[in-house]
Structure 1
């Protein structure tokens, strides 16, 4: 018999916590529920869950700081944030602190379960690198032509270098998913040494500059792991 996925669920609203816990258990997950940041860290260290579902606002801290503490030693275990915050800056903070996904309250249990299963899947970081020629791909208010590398905003056009276009295409094809640094480096540079890594940092900075005219388009740096394009 296959072992159950272990869910560490942090939520300080008792009614919501009970609904979510019972529903996840009915769906076949093993669930430990806690209500504070301190208990989250303790249970994470003792229980070693497969995924964390973490409320942002907690009575003794916040989920972002908990995630940062976990990411100091663990860059693999998925983290989903639950929050009533909806500003783009809050979303960015969530991803930059090490979160893999972000679900705004109120949410449906079906959506939570789908997102959890996607993150728990062995194939959640599959990178699609096929050469898809499209006339124009929308990235927020931008349009991007690949492999031509033409990035358009309003009446302005910029032709990206081949490497810039390749990186943006990889991010685009994996929109909303973390794209590992090592995958980008090994795919495009064929190694992941220090100098290639620094070069990738420069290209990411350039792409952020090119996309700055639409505040809703963000390339998030997930510390120690990779990048995520959201819009």
Structure 2
């Protein structure tokens, strides 16, 4: 299963490494670079799902190069990050083609929320796991041409989150943040959702939905 690909360009190496590790831990594939050098061929070869672009990169400006990037990749959303909070700079960035302008310092959760919002089309693509396919658009769990289960919207979102973090632990806090939008998740309700997904996936013995006590859950494949 393909991961969402993020091209992250920022000349702050410390921040870049922290953000890269955090995004990878959240299930993204990240290509990080510290300059705009060869940015066009990188975009064409990598075909990222989103570009996270610093405004000031060395002596260059990410906003100024955006129109050129939009010519070669008009469909790829560009999310600007910057410590500059001047309104005119934000307007300039959005007029250049940016989808949003995130002000530094920012929380990783805030960044991932923007990435998730602007790569929503990716999540609508069918996702393969073992013998199953999750048709996210219609919330259908398929096995070949057979519909195994018409999932509820929440079941579909929860399964997608687990699939995007295949073989990694998804914490309860992450589920609350991403699926309950920061609200409190009822423990028994979440346990019930997990039990239902475990039942649906039981037809493929290579899959295992594991509960990590007091931590979260992990979807793995043998």
Q: TM-score, normalised by structure 1?
A: 0.51
CA RMSD after TM alignment: 1.7
Superimposed CA distance per residue, residues 148-170 of structure 1 (whole angstroms, 9 cap, x where no aligned partner):
xxxxxxxxxxxxxxxxxxxxxxx
Gaps of at least 5 residues in structure 2 are: 124-222
> For the residues of structure 2 that align with 1:77 and 1:90, how far apart are their CA atoms?
21
The match for 1:117 is 116
1:196-207 aligned at under 5 Å gives the runs: none
Cα deviation, residue 69, structure 1: 0.8
> For the residues of structure 1 that align with 2:72 and 2:44, how far apart are their CA atoms?
11
Cα deviation, residue 73, structure 1: 3.1
Q: TM-score, normalised by structure 2?
A: 0.53
Cα deviation, residue 42, structure 1: 3.0
The match for 2:77 is 78
The match for 2:167 is none
Matched, 1:106 2:105: yes
Matched, 1:46 2:45: yes
Cα deviation, residue 123, structure 1: 9.4
1:184-199 aligned at under 5 Å gives the runs: none
Secondary structure of 2:94's match?
A: helix
> For the residues of structure 1 that align with 2:47 and 2:71, how far apart are their CA atoms?
15
Asked whether the 8 Å contact 2:4–2:122 carries over to 1, the reply is: no
> For the residues of structure 1 that align with 2:68 and 2:113, how far apart are their CA atoms?
26
The match for 1:16 is 15
Cα deviation, residue 40, structure 1: 2.6
The match for 1:7 is 6
> For the residues of structure 2 that align with 1:74 and 1:103, how far apart are their CA atoms?
21
Count of equivalent residues = 123
The match for 1:36 is 35
> For the residues of structure 2 that align with 1:79 and 1:93, how far apart are their CA atoms?
13
Gaps of at least 5 residues in structure 1 are: 125-231
